[in-house]
Structures are given as C-alpha cells and as structure tokens.
Amino acid sequence: MKFFIDSADLDAIAELADVGLVDGVTTNPSIIAKSGRNFKDVIAEICRLTPGHVSAEVVATDADTMIKEGRILRKIAENVCVKLPLTLDGLKACNTLSKEEIPTNVTLCFSPNQALLAAKVGATYISPFIGRLDDITLDGLELIEDIRTIYDNYGFETEILAASIRNVNHVKECAIVGADVITAPPQVVKSLANHVLTDKGLAAFLKDWEGTGQSI
C-alpha cells in the first residue's frame, strides 16, 4: 500500500519523507488556503519533497477550463497529478488529460458507479471519501470493497486512493480490503507507530539496560 500525506505542511511532509513514509501527497484548495501562501509556490515546494505524485486540484467547474488549468498545473513539476471533481465535466476533462498522459486523481467519489466511470475515462486514481460516508452513517469501507471488486473484475488500472481517512483503524481496514493507496493527515500516519505495549516494553528494556552500566 502507498502512503500519501494529505497536507500542505512542508515540515510535516519532510519529517515523514525522512522516515520513508511518503509515497506522494494530496492537497485541495482548502488545505492550500490555510497555508496563506501562493498556490503554485506551495505545490512546487511539495513536489521537491517527494518523487511521488502530488495532487493539485483544479478550481474550474466546466470541462474546457478544467483542462486548461490541468495543463497549467502539470507544468509546475513532472510529478504533479491533476485532481478533478467527479462530475460529468470532470470526467470529460479526465478523459482528455489522460489521453495526454497527464496523471489524474478523480476526487469526491461516494459510490461504486462513480468509481466505474472514473476508471472508464482513464483516471490514474479514484478518491473515495470514506470518512465523510461514515459521518452520515454509511459504511465507507464497504465502498472501498465494492470498488476493489469492480476494478478487479475488469482489470482496470485505476488505483483506489482511500481519502478522508480519520483514524488508524481506517488505515488498517483499507489495507485489509485492498485499497492501493491511503491519504491521511500527518498525525494519523505518525499514530500508526503507536501502541501502549510498545512503549511499555521499550521502557522496561531501557531500564534493564541502564542497570548494567554498559554502553554500545
């Protein structure tokens, strides 16, 4: 499974990249806006932190302008992946950009049928939002399972990028049902390493070692 970081926090991305836990990054207009910085500058800096795909989202709602914006975004860096909304216009833009060999991430997916359409038009990634489905008492992980089955049935190469990850359990369940990628905030990724028994065991080992008076 690939780990993408859902953030525009350069320090947080760099920290996890140093550990070896960054396969790519996802952003959206809301995340970039919170940084208070120029959109293109932020994307360019993130792209220098990882060789993996960095999703940069269009803001247009009509296909022609999405395509224009997508081409502009792609010029920022070779690892930019153009993020498009799952609308008919977004799908049309995805079809055009995919034929131009520009990586695409079709976002805001909430149903298997939507995921099927994204794969049909050549999306590099489909982003099902599992946390937002959980928020309205639907099963976000069931959506991942359904998409996995559909894609495997027909050999679609579109990768399932599980988004709206809220906790470590989401990550585990996505791995179990076969998501290709998860994108999560830095703190969720860091929390995957935490376990009370790990902390307890390490404390005991260190105490015992200290008692020997030795050093390595």
Rg of the chain taking only CA atoms, in angstroms: 19
Cβ-contact 59, 70 below 8 angstroms: no
| Helical residues (DSSP H) of the chain, grouped into ranges | 10-19, 29-35, 39-49, 63-74, 88-99, 112-120, 130-135, 140-154, 168-177, 186-191, 196-212
Cβ-contact 109, 144 below 8 angstroms: no
| Torsion angle, alpha carbons of 128, 129, 130, 132, to 10 | -150
83 noted as active-site residue: yes
Instruction: Identify the active-site residue in 83, 92, 172, 200.
Output: 83
Cβ-contact 26, 163 below 8 angstroms: yes
Catalytic machinery residues:
83
